[in-house]
């Protein structure tokens, strides 16, 4: 297993960051609970393009590149 390979599609990365920011905002507005800090996980995976769970399960949402 190579943990340095990007395994998320660019659109999915943006969606993860937006969802993460929405969750983190819950720590400041709304219910103001610590559960909002779970939004850090999708922010990190979206920023790096690497989802460790995808790597373990062998999933990739990136398009396959043609071999030269």
Please write the tens of the pLDDT for every residue from 14-67.
999 999 999 999 989 988 888 889 999 999 999 999 998 998 898 889 877 645
pLDDT at 34: 86
Query: Residue 7 is encoded by which pair of tokens?
Result: 């395994």
- 29 in Cβ contact with 45 (< 8 Å): no
Helix axes 40-48, 10-25, angle to 10 degrees: 160
Extract the tokens encoding 5. 């390979």
Q: What is the pLDDT of residue 32?
A: 86
**What is the pTM for the complete model shown?**
0.83
Query: Which tokens is 40 given?
Result: 């850090």
Burial class (CB in 10 A: 0-12, 13-18, 19+), 67: exposed
Q: What is the pLDDT of residue 4?
A: 73
Instruction: Please report the pLDDT score of residue 35 as a whole number.
Output: 87
pLDDT value of position 64: 72
């Amino acid at each position: 297993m190579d943990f340095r390979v990007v395994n998320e599609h660019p659109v999915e990365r943006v969606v993860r960051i937006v969802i993460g920011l929405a969750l983190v905002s819950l720590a400041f507005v709304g219910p103001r609970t610590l559960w909002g800090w779970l939004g850090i996980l999708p922010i990190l995976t979206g920023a790096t393009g690497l989802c460790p769970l995808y790597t373990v399960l062998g999933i990739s949402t990136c398009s396959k590149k043609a071999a030269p």
